[in-house]
Amino acid sequence: MSVFAPIRHGARLALAAALGTFGTLGATRAVAQSRANATPPYSLTNSGPSLGQQSGDALITAKAKAALLAASDLDSGDIHVTTESGVVTLSGVVPRRAQKAQAEQTVKQIDNVVGVRNTLDVDEAPQ
């Protein structure tokens, strides 16, 4: 195992360059070793979400943000939206409890939403 093994591919090449070992032979070895130690993102053994799932989650997030912006009587400026495996998480602050419920119902109607995790805080303080 090389000194560079725990370092990611790009950082390994930058470190090799900084140490002055980035000759033709050094570069070839660094690239070969980084490829041998790397788990490609398309690997079947990778336990993370697939590229298709990530793009699906990104689409759900975009649709949720658009729906929240379009919803009448909903102050969505402080609502943050994330999606993982089809489950949408709403976080941030809304001024009224009714808006918290409305935000959740709005997102539940979007295609491919598996569930909604509503962690919105309500700030009903008079302004």
Residues 94-107 pLDDT 10s: 999 999 999 999 99
22: pLDDT confidence band, cut at 50, 70 and 90? very low
- Domain extents in the chain: 1-38, 51-122
Q: What is the Cα–Cα distance from 90 to 106, expressed in whole angstroms?
A: 11
Q: Is 73 exposed, middle or buried (0-12, 13-18, 19+ CB in 10 A)?
A: exposed
Provide the 8-state DSSP code for 40. -
For domain 51-122, give its CATH number from 3.20.20.70, 3.90.1010.10, 3.90.45.10, 3.30.1340.30. Answer: 3.30.1340.30
Task: Find all residues with CB under 8 Å of 78, minimum gap 6, and list them.
Answer: 92, 93, 94
Global pTM reads 0.58
Provide the 8-state DSSP code for 89. E
Per-residue pLDDT of 38-78, as tens digits, reads: 555 544 555 556 656 667 899 999 999 999 999 988 887 89
